[in-house]
A and B are shown apart, each in its own frame.
Chain A
């Protein structure tokens, strides 16, 4: 079967009487459900789940997988997402019985191996971020942002400064930053970028005040540029009593080069599913640890994993100032195991090389593409760079068209229309795990598309031409939402 054919929904493959499971026969006396449950509580109509054989299932999902593009399928230069290779040993280790098949509520003495791994990961992240303590509880980056903001809030309240209700966010920030601020009960104030693509210090000075709770910043920023005034920015915030928060989405750009803790940041979240190769999984699971400086330690979420004097590992619940619990149990352990395995596979030299090569790759691509696309901020970038498609827009070819045309070359397109302060933005992040040959081939495709925009714009405007579906009607999906199958 060609993978261009429509793949039926699993519900459409159902045939009454087929099974795909194997349960042991019941070995205790059968009892009627009506004897076990109160009247009205026995399910009378069964849920309409599929009835298919095991081979049906395998073929269905194999067909679906062929309609999907992952890092292992091809280059995935999605800016700000750090789509690097996901090592296979990580997958193997996370499936070891002693990691995959342990219960979170087992007695501590029966899970010391797991706790040792987590503790060692915490310590590694303390060193990598330059912070004083790390919690592994948050499930993803946005969850980490919110956790850290809740700690900042608790810190200010403990100091009798509960009036601090404003969080400052640059206009180039990830959308999760303002959203997390709202969920943590703060108002968001936007600070402008200057013509160099960096935070405008004058505007920052204008918006700070005694109601400032924190500044959230990613460095390098979402343009891939290092905020070289970071120390002044931290000083501006600290001088009014605020905290400086580091969004670690872009940590891949600065490992072994600069640590958030040395740049004046008070807390940081990391995306272990980005920098530390926990796979993205098609949209999760992630892991979003938070690191803090000493004065925020009392507010870390409960429980805090500690090492006792006897060398054992222990979950400490006796934390009277803690913000509480942000997730049941201890975080996305399976992702933390993968990240730990990665860090141990790279070591200190490896992590340094990761950043150097990620940045070299990005600058190389930027210089190769510069003659063909507008480059709004012409200076060395870090792990990613942002082109503008405004030259092509004048020819009637939008950035969205360029992205769709890249699909025909077998690439996942870059992040587009982000950050918001670049017109027709094209944000490219190659990562260190891609070879020069791959980068060159992608650049060649981009250059060809730039030429097509001049010579044959329709070819680009009507792209993609080779995918299993063409452009989808998103307006229709939103106007008449069909969110589930019905017979």
Chain B
């Protein structure tokens, strides 16, 4: 058949069959037992030409309310941020996106060096000694952190703050189930992990305490106090962090964290209906050989020239098989590249400035909501999210907002029964004063 992806011609086919000394392609499948042979064609939609398919899928995409043509205040772990235009130009270079994992370093120096730079940037932002080359996403990175802690401490209990992302928590529970590890939820008070409850729960069987920074409600946890409590019992301290927030927040590495996991989505990665995003995983040197996934290291070639290779591979599945530190193989290399380009473009000054805009604009929104008579619950320090109490279902309010071109905040009642009629409002640097004022006014009118 003729297809633009299939260069085979009748002449090619004839010559190749002659070389193989067979008369038809079917003979190559003669080892498939008759009983299991599939006959005919798949019952799937017929092929479309490039232009017809583009037209159809353009229409399908247009059925969705996107965050380009609407003003989004939805966050809850995935954010609508400034994405430098060059990010897409770099990751569209096919030398990067059509390459496999850099197992042949001589012809993969570009990828290897770019990811080495990514590892450095994540280590810098988190304040940790080192970072790996990426994980699937923030949720699975956090789960792997929990597994690492259980393996390292040989303990079977994870204490997870009630203020971490609920879907991250679900993923931790699924992974823990596979390893017969117990997951205990730590109560929250005023939107942050309740320190006294935590102190009562941590014991000598605690592998790790997991908190989020800023947490799911946008609040800043007291990492220093939490780290001290878990370290007293020789457990590990795991922090799930928003890397952009670390532009203004003291990095977890300076506050006692042993592992910092998270998602680099705020750096140049589109919301994309939840993926692909880019998990990251940073640790102290003491845990270096327990890290899941790929690590890029610097070395030299035979002439003494600097170069980069995949290293410490004795941790990985293709070498250690059932004794590997994780089963992860493909990760999110291309998104790590995207995040690296965005972090480079923003740079030392830009990450700080953008993070600052988030926190300042969110404070503006908080004040505006309060001035309009709304209650903003959880009065602690926040980054780019606040919890606003409404007197009507948030889902209903959001319907009204959408009619005005606004994608409203996350309906916390969907997950927390005690937070029915509470919206988690996310304000990024992209939201203007006018847009924030409009949100407050529309929500007021819809109540």
Contact = CB atoms under 8 A, between A and B. Distances in A.
Interface stretch (A24-32, A201-209, A289-297): A24-32
A433 B5 CA distance: 6
Interface stretch (A81-89, A387-395, A448-456): A81-89
B44 A474 contact: no
A87 B178 contact: no
B35 A117 contact: no
A203 to B, nearest CB: 18
Interface residues of A, number: 202
B106 to A, nearest CB: 4
Interface string B143-159: 00001000000000000
Nearest to B328: A142
A401 interface: no
Interface residues of B, number: 202
Interface string A352-366: 111011011101100
Contact of A33 (B16, B56, B248): B248
Contacts of A350: 1, 3, 5-6, 47
A41 B74 contact: no
A465 B111 CA distance: 20
Interface string B133-167: 11011111000000100000000000000000101
Contacts of A182: 322-324, 327
A42 interface: yes
Nearest to A78: B100
Contact of B347 (A21, A40, A71, A345): A21
B189 interface: no
B86 interface: yes
A275 interface: no
A353 to B, nearest CB: 5
Nearest to B173: A324
B117 A10 contact: yes
A72 B84 CA distance: 25
B330 A140 contact: yes
A127 B99 contact: no
A97 B63 CA distance: 11
A3 B179 CA distance: 48
A117 B68 CA distance: 20
A282 B100 contact: yes
Contact of A64 (B114, B303, B343): B114
A485 B27 contact: no
A132 interface: no
A294 B308 CA distance: 47
Contact of A256 (B41, B111, B131, B347): B41
Interface SS of chain A:
loop
B373 interface: no
A102 B64 contact: yes
A333 B272 contact: yes
B334 A469 contact: no
A143 interface: yes
Contacts of B422: none
Interface in A129-166: 130, 139-143, 145-146, 149-150, 153
A281 B97 contact: yes
B294 A28 contact: no
A93 interface: yes
A349 interface: yes
A70 B57 contact: no
Nearest to B334: A281
A477 B297 contact: yes
Please provide the 10 A-B residue pairs with the shortest distance between their CB atoms, ordered closest to farther: A329-B274, A347-B47, A98-B61, A113-B63, A104-B274, A281-B334, A68-B110, A70-B98, A283-B333, A285-B276
29 contacts: A9-B113, A21-B82, A24-B429, A42-B250, A43-B352, A47-B121, A65-B93, A67-B109, A68-B102, A73-B94, A93-B54, A99-B64, A103-B67, A105-B76, A107-B402, A116-B63, A139-B137, A149-B178, A230-B33, A231-B36, A256-B42, A280-B330, A283-B100, A285-B136, A324-B170, A347-B46, A347-B47, A353-B6, A412-B104
